[in-house]
Amino acid sequence: MNPTESLSFLHDFLFNITFHFVGDVPMSSLVKTRFAPSPTGYLHVGGARTALYSWLFARKNADNGKFILRIEDTDQVRSTAESAAGILSDLQWLGLNWDEGPVVGGAKNEYFQSMRLDLYNKHLAELLAKGLAYEAYESTAQLTAMRQAAEKEKRAFRYRRDMPGRQLAAQEGVKPVVRFAMPYKDITVNDLILGNVTVTGSEHDDIVIRKSDGFPTYHFAVVVDDHYMCITHVLRAQEHFMNTFKHIGLYEALGWLPPQHGHLPLVVNADNSKMSKREKAKAVRAEIQKAGIKDFTDLAAKSGLGLKDLQDFMAKKTDAVEFAVKLAPLLGPVSSGGLKLPEIDVQDFRRSGYLPEALLNFVALVGWAPGGDREIVSSQELLDLFSLDGIQKTPGRFDRKKLAWMNGEYIRKASLDRLLEVLEQFNAVTDYPIKKADRSVQREILTMYQERMVTLAEMAENARFFFEEPTMDPKAVEKFITKNDGRTFLQSAQAILSAVGGPWSKDNIAAPLEQVLALGEKRGAAAQPIRVAISGNSVTPPLLETLALLGRETTLVRMAKALAM
RNA sequence: GCCCCCAUCGUCUAGCGGCCUAGGACGCCGCCCUCUCACGGCGGUGACACGGGUUCGAAUCCCGUUGGGGGUACCA
């Protein structure tokens, strides 16, 4: 018995054990799940949820549950190493650690499909030899024509080995593909979430399992790998559901037992559209239209994009994320960094200053409920409560407002040390002025904002005035300085505060500040002019802490400047 | 078009034949607290898609209609 055969045997052996016990004693049966992203972009929040559920399902079985990470890079054109690295880093940030896979290694030691070509080819040859797979010689153009013809006649196009009009011999310049001879029989999937579903034999088609470039397709690689890696439970997005019938056919042809499958509902946008990176392009286009920009020459020059590219982008010929990213800073409220693109990928949320635990908690609740009236659920509790029973069958909308609330909850409950730690991670991927501040100053600011921020990005933005000259909001200046006795209050405040003796500390300025706040008919009427003078805005943390951190000189200079306005 | 899945407040959901004049959370609205903004507290708005069955009894079971989602690639 060679190593792969023995592994295969081991799989069957282990699988049989779980097979009998599923539903009876799940805690003691072996569970092995995997997350298998294709490295063609960043890790999407939907993907993060799939990973989380798979992770939870495996980790629940603390004794013998295993969670595997596998990179499905069979698409040579779109896969990139950077993307794979990004996905790994996002998973790590979320705390979803894996037992086998890239970096950590494992039994198979090859967790990139592109490294496993020999294995796929071996089984491909086996299927070919048994007549369970065959070469097909159509060109892409021929296939397209066949499809169009079928559509014209209003019938479904299915490639089958006995269909009329097949290209029966190899053609010059066309490399053949290998197709799987899908059996003509009904196939039933016992889905862990959707239940028993049967697809009639006549509905199947002979899918491509090896592309003309020699790489296996997803369908083939996934079956081979899930088998060799001894995966017992496959949890994946519902978009894969119809594939499962083909995969079952493949398992049978290879003489293997299929794992259990569970298909997760999709995570969609508020308008029911699939949540995708396209959102970013959409947001940018909408903003350009809103601004009424018809001539793109200027915008193209400023963004560094070609005019043709920009025109194509606007004509929806491309949804390139890179374009959207280049254009966003030039649009919307330019003074505060331009148009904010919608967060779609995990790293977007990271840059916006969401806490990984909050994102995880939130994403867990889209499509699953722990039962009872629980909302805030820690990872540990998630592990205790998670069950496939609570998973919804309908697509779940991604409600950013609720995520924002939840992030705020986590921030308020976090210890200052945790917050500092999270800020450090946040600073590593962003460039706000707080990044360069001393740790003690960061601590002060975090304390001030803990109860009033929703994201770290919001805090970092609002706290800018501690580090740089504030940009004065004209409306606030008019309302609180020019009008409503603003100057009078400011003058008194200046007089009182400049008389503060000793060090400029909270203790020393508390009483004078109280004196200022007592000015005017309503207590605190004098607060707003000061706020605007020091921050340019009518909203800041409480004045005492704010002034203390700002320092004597900055406070007084800014007040003088405001008085001169 | 064809195949598959699904259907409770705007959103995420609880509910698995009587406990439901349908509960919670986010959002939204109002009030209180208050130096601004938040936080916090209190209250309010708001749903069983529709039509047939089954049953003493249906949000819960069955059928149909409508609606939504997924699939229909040499992408995963």
Q: How far apart are CA A530 and CA A525, in angstroms?
A: 10
| ipTM tops the 0.85 cut | yes
pLDDT of residue A62: 65
CA of A428 to C1' of B30 (A): 43
Q: Output the tens digit of pLDDT for each of chain A's 565 residues.
A: 333 333 334 444 444 333 333 333 334 468 999 999 999 999 999 999 999 999 999 998 767 899 999 999 999 999 999 999 999 999 999 999 999 999 998 877 789 999 999 999 999 999 999 999 999 999 999 999 999 999 888 888 999 999 999 999 999 999 999 999 999 999 999 999 999 999 999 999 999 999 999 999 999 999 999 999 999 999 999 999 999 999 999 999 999 999 999 999 999 887 777 777 777 887 888 888 888 888 999 999 999 888 988 888 888 777 788 888 889 888 877 766 678 888 899 999 999 999 999 999 999 999 999 988 899 999 999 999 999 999 999 999 999 999 999 999 999 999 999 999 999 999 999 999 999 999 999 999 999 999 999 999 999 999 999 999 999 999 998 888 888 788 889 999 999 999 988 899 999 999 999 999 998 888 878 899 999 999 999 999 999 999 999 999 999 999 999 888 8
pLDDT of residue A17: 39
CA of A45 to C1' of B64 (A): 38
pLDDT of residue A29: 61
Q: With CA atoms as reference, report the closest residue to A360 among A32, A43, A103.
A: A43
Helix, strand, coil in percent for chain A, rounding step 5: 50, 10, 40
The beta-strand segments (E) located in A347-480 are 396-397
Dihedral sign for Cα atoms in the order A408, A414, A418, A419: positive
If you measure CA to C1', which residue is closest to nucleotide B68?
A272
pTM of the model: 0.91
State which nucleotides on strand B lie below 7 Å from a protein beta carbon.
Answer: 1-8, 10-16, 23-28, 34-40, 68-76
If you measure CA to C1', which residue is closest to nucleotide B3?
A203
Q: Which of A66, A277, A282, A326 is catalytic?
A: A277
**Where do the H-state alpha helices sit in A153-277?**
218-228, 241-254
Exposure string of A92-109, with b = 16+ CB inside 10 Å and e = fewer, is: ebbebebbbbbeeebebe
Q: How far apart are CA A104 and CA A101, in angstroms?
A: 6
CA of A151 to C1' of B2 (A): 10
User: Does residue A308 carry a catalytic annotation?
Assistant: no
CA of A374 to C1' of B48 (A): 22
CB atoms within 10 A of CB A24: 9
CB-based burial label for A75 (10 Å; 0-12, 13-18, 19+): middle
Nearest nt to the CA of A246 via C1' is B71
Mapping DSSP to helix (H, G, I), strand (E, B) and coil, where does residue A34 land? strand
pLDDT of residue A340: 83
